[in-house]
Amino acid sequence: MKTLALPSQTSRQPLADVVTATGGGSDVVGEMRARARAFAEPLLAGEATSSGENVLAHADATADILAGIGGSDDIQAAVYLSYASSQLNRPDEVIGKAFGDSFARLAIETSKLERVQQRSRASRHDQLGDSELAGQQTEFVRKMLLAFSRDLRVVLLRLASRLQTLRWCASARKVPAPSLLRESHEVFAPLANRLGIWQIKWEMEDLIFRFQEPETYRMVASLLDEKRVEREAALEQRRAEIESALCAQGIDASVTGRPKHISSIVRKMRGKALDFDQVFDVRALRVLVPTVEDCYRALGWVHQRFMPVPQEFDDYIAKPKGNGYQSLHTVVRDGDGRAWEIQIRTHQMHQHAEHGVAAHWAYKEAGTKGYVGVSAESDYDAKIAVLRQLLAWERDLSGAAPQYGLFDDRIYVLTPQAAIVELPAGATAVDFAYTLHTELGHRCRGARVDGAMVPLHTPLKNGQTVEVISAKEGGPSRDWLNPDLHFLASSRAKSKVRAWFNAQQTRETIARGREMVEKLLQREGRTAIALDHLAGELGFKTPDALFETVGKDELSLRAIETVLRPPEPVPDADEQVLRKARTDGGGGARGGVLVVGLDSLLTQPARCCKPAPPDDIAGYVTRGRGVSVHRRDCNTFRELQAREPERVIEVGWSTPATGHSPAYPVDVAVEALDRHGLLRDISDVFAREKMNVIGVQTQSVKGWAWMTFTVEVSDTQRLAHVLRQVQDVSGVRVARRR
């Protein structure tokens, strides 16, 4: 299939003609290409591309484009095999047997990349709005091209195929789909620029511009056609003049006219607010010389012969462009004041400028030719140079800051919805699941890769489609953290698994602590207490923080008992209301408590408030344990009085027959800053006041000490005097009777 020139761009050479003129292509079809075409023809007969072009004709033209940029016979053959692979059930086996494994891999990877891009365009068009579609589609195609850039042949095949699609649409006068046109403008043309394949870059940009702004395109094309004969005559005259003059200077120069690129002309007209006649590209010459020294000698002659235009000189030899492009660019004016753009470069620079990386590496040995000024002693060196350009292009598009370690292996795999997921090399389906969503990773139980079930530790490969099989609930396996089992390669996924087990352990500790605290509250009859209040009393922000500390055995339950006031247990209803106590001759005043109006009743101080003279007291008739004596300000007593007022009786303090008041146990609560010797100093106060201490409980939490002293007193008025002395002890904040 002959390469098509743009119908309205008559001054421009078709790509194939340019390549033939520079020795880049050949009219002879190689043996491998012929074999591949014969193999694919029966499979592709009658098939059409998504744009409507016949597949076999598309493959012919794509192979011609690759031949034009210096592609080997093998890569031309791969075009046919990539389209044929989609028609085969087992392309790896069939193509591998007929052409070898290398061809099979290339064909399958190229076909897979094109198929995924088509699927992505369709699915995203249905799901997203136009503005959102643009950004996501560009990012998708960019990542896919980078994913498959481990084999540059795949990238070159896709570039050539896209150029042919645009050519066919132009010749068929059919506007490409907006998503395809956007991909071409935002991804493929910049990629060709980054790789230095100028022939594809300029033609693709002109075709894209033709579809995007057809009226402007036709206007500039018609301006180029006007006075074309006169302009070309002047161009030939100037070309011959410069070439002969340089040869007279001993410089073996070849001077040619440079092709006109409509998109470039329009950009300069708009960017510099120029009229068409002021654009330098309209009159342009290219000078090719043998050596770099000749480049500068030729530049010196041009600047002597013509008037240089200020600020229109660029030395890309001393400072090459990022993609390795080298040349001298200058603009001069002739005696009539007309501007001419002149490019001066060596033949080797020109070869690279036209064909870019394809001039040095298209799956054939790079030799010592080198790439971008790098001595490429092996195919590996050339490939690394290519990858540097691809990764720099990635940063250009994404706006990312330069990174180091970008050559560490990465892979790109797909979800069933054709979304791309970037993973480290060696990643598994478990890594994939955690990258999508943490919960999906936790519940991952199996995976399908390209439709087939695989073990979870199977390493994934570029371009594979991965589907995660998950349970409704559950968590990860501890085996996933075993490095010898290779379930995880991503440090992010490993940290998520560790976090899950840490959280699980914390939950178990909190549950254990909660159970211990709740049992204590039940035992003390204080299940109605607010847990937030209890945690705050002990210096914790939340109940869970208290439960976790208790569950770790870092806080004794005795510390909790010190802030509780256990209520009187509620007796069973069928218990005896009153039980007579043995008479002791005390006339009802046994133990120093007199029950008004009754005789020989058993009395006992309540444990919740521990009354002592001269407290205002009252009695509560229990079921089976006589009369429980409470202080009237006791919260528990108030609850009992409100619930069963008929059981409340009057009681009072009495003096036993001996004349000596008995001693009663009283609890004293002390809060203080914890320090060495605190317990000793407080105990010394009680000892000086001859107050018997019969029990002590202490607990230290976060620098604070809580102490409960049980002391025997016969008069609580004297206790108040002792507590004032305790409060004077260094560090004591509160000293009070409980």
Domain identity same for 166 and 252? no
pLDDT higher than 50, residue 573: no
Buried b (16+ CB within 10 A) or exposed e, 631-647: beebebbeebbeeeeeb
pTM of the model: 0.48
**Same domain flag for 402 and 414:** no
pLDDT of residue 11: 33
Q: For 141-159, write each residue's pLDDT tens digit.
A: 666 666 665 567 788 888 8
Mean pLDDT of the chain: 77
- 343 and 370 assigned to the same domain: no
Binning pLDDT at 50, 70 and 90, where does residue 419 land?
low
Q: Is the pLDDT of residue 128 over 60?
A: no
Min mean pLDDT across 285-294, 353-362, 447-456 is at: 353-362
**Domain match, 330 and 374 both:** no
Same domain, 341 and 372: no
* CATH number, domain containing residue 687: 3.30.70.260
Band the pLDDT of 59: cuts 50, 70, 90: very high
535-553, pLDDT tens digit by residue?
887 778 888 988 988 888 7
Does 315 have pLDDT greater than 90?
Answer: yes
537 part of a folded domain = yes
pLDDT on residue 647: 87
Domain boundary among 212, 240, 265: 212
pLDDT at 27 over 60: no
Assess if residue 299 is contained within a domain: yes
Let me know whether 521 and 557 are in one domain: yes
**For residue range 227-251, what is the model confidence (pLDDT) as tens digits?**
566 667 778 888 899 999 999 989 9
Domain-embedded: residue 567: no
For residue 46, being part of any structural domain is answered with: yes
Instruction: Dump the DSSP string for 422-456.
Output: EEETT--HHHHHHHH-HHHHHTEEEEEETTEEE-T
Position 10 in a domain: yes
pLDDT(278) > 60? no
Asked if residue 677 belongs to a domain, the reply is yes
Statement to judge: residues 236 and 194 lie in one domain: no
Q: Are residues 207 and 233 in the same domain?
A: no
395, 402 in Cβ contact below 8 A? yes
| CA torsion through residues 47, 50, 54, 55, sign | negative
pLDDT band at 575 (very low <50, low <70, confident <90, very high): very low
What does the longest C-alpha to C-alpha distance in the chain come to? 149
Instruction: Give the full edge-to-edge strand order of the sheet including 617-621.
Output: 603-605, 627-631, 617-621, 648-649
- pLDDT value, residue 464: 81
Q: Do 4 and 88 share a domain, yes or no? A: yes
pLDDT in tens, 202-223: 889 889 988 988 888 788 777 7
CB 106 within 8 A of CB 154: yes
Query: Higher pLDDT residue, 97 or 388?
Result: 97
Q: Which amino acid is at 427?
A: A
φ, ψ for residue 353, nearest 5 deg = -65, -35
Single out the residue in 336, 356, 376 at which a domain terminates: 356
| Domain containing residue 318: CATH number | 3.30.460.10
Q: pLDDT: is 407 or 121 the higher one? A: 121
Between 243-247, 378-382, 559-563, the lowest mean confidence (pLDDT) is in 378-382
324 and 228 within one domain: yes
pLDDT on residue 168: 93
Looking at the structure, tell me whether residues 50 and 118 fall in a common domain. Answer: yes
Residue 589 banded pLDDT, cuts 50, 70, 90: very low
Q: Indicate the DSSP class of residue 527.
A: T
- Is the model's pLDDT at 200 over the cut of 80? yes
Q: Which long-range contacts (CB under 8 A, 24 or more apart) does 104-108 make?
A: 105/151, 106/78, 106/81, 106/82, 106/151, 106/153, 106/154, 106/157, 107/78, 107/81, 107/82, 108/82
Average pLDDT over residues 520-537: 82
Q: What is the pLDDT of residue 271?
A: 63
Decide if 595 is inside a domain.
no
| 257-266, 327-336, 431-440, range with the lowest pLDDT | 257-266
- In a domain? residue 594: no
**One domain, residues 17 and 148:** yes
Of the candidates 212, 228, 257, which is a domain's last residue?
A: 212
Calculate mean pLDDT across residues 362-367: 33
Domain that holds residue 419: 410-477
CA gap 257, 711 in Å, rounded = 113
Tell me what percent of the residues of the chain surpass a pLDDT of 90: 19
Domain count, the chain: 6
pLDDT of residue 424: 86
